[in-house]
Amino acid sequence: MADILSGKEVAQALGERLKEEVEQLKSRGITPGLAIVIVGDRSDSMSYIKGAQKRCGELGIDCRLVQLPENISEKEFISQIHQLNEDKSVHGILVMRPLPTSISEDRVKYEISPLKDVDCFNPVNIAKVMSGDEKGFDPCTPSAVIEILDHYGIDLTGKRAVIVGRSMVVGRPLAMMMLRRNATVTICHTKTVDLAKETSRAEILVAAAGKAKMIKKDMVASGAVVIDVGINFDENGKLCGDVDFDAVKEVAGKITPVPGGVGVVTSTVLAKHVIKACKMQTES
């Protein structure tokens, strides 16, 4: 039976450290500020936003919601981003995606200041992830995976890590982050031949494909560390991950649950990035 890697425990420990950093900044008259930009009112996005607002409030970070109308033009949207870039009380900007089809992500991602891009939207920060430049901002979800591994003392050096999913949001940046830690990384995807053969070789398996319960018991090596990034709903409407948790926990050595795993840590990582951005912008 696998040990459960609790995201709540990780978030709590990280949060305690971040509170101290915020207090130090406030003693200098500086309050870290985050602006969350959303177009329309997608329910899944609003749920994440409420969690981020709550976490920022707990840590002493100002969190501003910039909610824009569904029919906003691309020009007007970019103008809003530029205003936030210039606002010295805003140290981090998070743009909720996907954006409406009337707004080109490929264009607007260049408009957000790299210094305030706390979830790695701007290609400048993507390049820093790929090059190992830690002055940039890694995407929050892959960063949450690393925070969990670090908290539980799981060393990546020399380990066989397999990531199922190749998105720019999780899979590919996480692969680069694991390479920094000297793991040997394999990325799998929908075109991978014999996926089970690849996953069963993993000492550390990360499921980030966005398909409910796709990782089955026979796809996991005995004693493996299994990190489930997926957020899905099963046939009964119950929240679940990409891993068949009840079956896989019988063979894995350690496993994150859904809910209560990676997702719980993500909003605290976002706060960590806002504090980092604040320090970079205010310390000379």
Give the separation between CA 262 and CA 255, rounded to whole angstroms: 11
Give the separation between CA 139 and CA 13, rounded to whole angstroms: 20
Angle at 222 between CA 220 and CA 224, to 5 degrees: 70
Q: Please enumerate, as own/partner, the contacts of 236-239 that have beta carbons within 8 Å and a separation of 24 or more.
A: none
Give the separation between CA 257 and CA 235, rounded to whole angstroms: 18
Return the bridge partners of 64, or none.
Answer: 35
Give the separation between CA 106 and CA 249, rounded to whole angstroms: 40
Has this prediction a pTM greater than 0.85? yes
Please tell me if the domain spanning 28-114 has the same topology as the one spanning 140-263: yes
Tens-binned pLDDT, residue by residue, of the chain (284 aa): 999 999 999 999 999 999 999 999 999 999 999 999 999 988 888 989 999 999 999 999 999 999 999 999 999 999 999 999 999 999 999 999 999 999 999 999 999 999 999 999 999 999 999 999 989 999 999 999 999 999 999 999 999 999 999 999 999 999 999 999 999 999 999 899 999 999 999 999 999 999 999 999 999 999 999 999 999 998 888 999 999 999 999 999 999 999 999 999 999 999 999 999 999 999 86
Boundaries of every domain in the chain:
28-114, 140-263
Helix segments in the chain, DSSP class H: 7-26, 43-59, 74-86, 105-108, 123-131, 140-151, 171-180, 195-199, 245-248, 262-282
CATH topology of domain 28-114: Rossmann fold (3.40.50)
Q: At what angle do helices 7-26 and 262-282 cross, to 10 degrees?
A: 20
Give the separation between CA 14 and CA 267, rounded to whole angstroms: 11
Q: Which helix (DSSP H) or strand (DSSP E) does residue 32 occupy?
A: none
Return the bridge partners of 185, or none.
Answer: 161
Which CATH architecture group holds 140-263? 3-Layer(aba) Sandwich (3.40)
Give the separation between CA 43 and CA 34, rounded to whole angstroms: 20
Give the separation between CA 122 and CA 128, rounded to whole angstroms: 10
